[in-house]
Amino acid sequence: MYNFEFEKPSTVADAVAALAGDEAQALGGGQTLIPTMKQRLASPSKLVSLSGITEMQGVQREGASLTIGGAVSHADVAAQATDYPALAEMAGHIGDPAVRNRGTIGGSLANNDPSADYPAAALASAATVVTNAREIAADDYFQGMFDTALEDGEIITGVKFLVPQAANYQKFVQPASRFALVGVFVAKHADGVRVAVTGASEEGVFRWSEAEAALDADFSADAIAGLTLDPSGMIGDLHGTKEYRAHLVGVMTKRAVAAAD
């Protein structure tokens, strides 16, 4: 890894200022960024650590929403998001314990890996991504593989989840990487069901609208038994073909509906 300057501010305002320079980049838990820098696929001239910013910590319930600080680790979400059990359960199965102790929700959503878990949870929960500058609805936030609505230097300071009436996340694990080969997050809200799929599409996380419509009419695994997804546009690689992934989306969605509580 090439050398860089290191700064560890204690407020969001100072972090935004430190990121203003050209090749500066935010450092969350480093669980994606450090390996990327070792491969020299990224070579920022300055890293601005977000781990010393207390205003980006904490998990808070306010009415129907649960707000998680942008620098909260996966392990802390697993332990503290007890008001939203499906989310806590999802966070508790990311990677392995050491990865969960460092990796953060903000880093995962900023990275938007096409196989990451948080994007599915955020999209299914109609979450709002809160940054130093604005609030972005999940429906507008994810813009394709590794692409998001974030501007350069913009920091995710928190994420507001709408706690659903019932929800479940089903992850078909790719055992070597521990990422999702396919993951489906189903959330039943007062105003409708949302089904978000990760790991499957070349466009990254997406909502499966046909399944949502069928589940709005009848929230049962049988309601989607006849639905199929078009394999074109799915990811096909050595771990699974496009057809296999399209099929798995249906299976995982049914399991998530059956398990939702």
Partner 1 sequence: MAKVSMTVNGKAASADVEGRTLLVSFLREELGLTGVHVGCDTSQCGACVVHVDGKAVKSCTMLALEAEGSEVATIEGQAAEDGSLNTIQAAFQEHHGLQCGFCTPGMVMSAAALLKDNPKPSEQEIRTYLEGNLCRCTGYHNIVKSIMAASGQDVSALAAE
Ligand X SMILES: Cc1cc2nc3c(=O)[nH]c(=O)nc-3n(C[C@H](O)[C@H](O)[C@H](O)COP(=O)(O)OP(=O)(O)OC[C@H]3O[C@@H](n4cnc5c(N)ncnc54)[C@H](O)[C@@H]3O)c2cc1C
Q: Which is nearer to partner 1, 58 or 231 (CB)?
A: 58
46-49 and 24-27: which strand pairing?
Answer: parallel
Least distance between partner 1 and beta carbon 125 (Å): 25
By a kind-dependent CB cut-off of 5 to 8 A, residue 156 interacts, out of partner 1, ligand X, none, with ligand X
Q: Report, in angstroms and rounded to the nearest whole number, the Rg of the chain calculated over CA atoms.
A: 18
Exactly one of 30, 144, 231, 236 binds partner 1 (CB under 8 A); which one?
A: 30
Residues 161-190 touching ligand X, rule: CB under 6 A, are 178-179
Exactly one of 12, 114, 117, 248 binds ligand X (CB under 6 A); which one?
A: 117
Instruction: Tell me if 199 contacts ligand X by CB under 6 A.
Output: no
Residues 146-205 touching partner 1, rule: CB under 8 A, are 178
Least distance between ligand X and beta carbon 171 (Å): 8
CB 135 within 8 A of CB 97: no
By a kind-dependent CB cut-off of 5 to 8 A, residue 6 interacts, out of ligand X, partner 1, none, with partner 1
Q: Which residues contact 134 (CB under 8 A, 6 or more apart)?
A: none
By a kind-dependent CB cut-off of 5 to 8 A, residue 98 interacts, out of ligand X, partner 1, none, with partner 1
Q: Is 6 helix (H, G, I), strand (E, B) or coil?
A: strand
Over the window 63 to 92, marking each residue x when it contacts ligand X by CB under 6 A and - when it does not, the resulting string is -------x----------------------
| Structure tokens, 190 | 């007062």
166-173 and 180-189: which strand pairing?
Answer: antiparallel
Exactly one of 33, 37, 78, 249 binds ligand X (CB under 6 A); which one?
A: 33
C-alpha–C-alpha distance, residues 112 and 247, integer Å? 23
Q: Which is nearer to ligand X, 118 or 169 (CB)?
A: 118
C-alpha–C-alpha distance, residues 85 and 238, integer Å? 33
DSSP β-bridge partners for residue 160: 67, 128
- Strands, E assignment, the chain: 5-7, 24-27, 46-49, 59-62, 65-69, 128-131, 135-137, 156-162, 166-173, 180-189, 192-198, 206-207
Exactly one of 27, 75, 121, 252 binds ligand X (CB under 6 A); which one?
A: 27
Instruction: Tell me if 63 contacts partner 1 by CB under 8 A.
Output: no
CB 65 within 8 A of CB 137: no
Residues 99-138 touching partner 1, rule: CB under 8 A, are 99, 101-102
Contacts with partner 1, residue ranges (CB under 8 A): 1-6, 8, 27, 30-31, 34-35, 37-38, 47, 49, 51, 75, 95-99, 101-102, 178
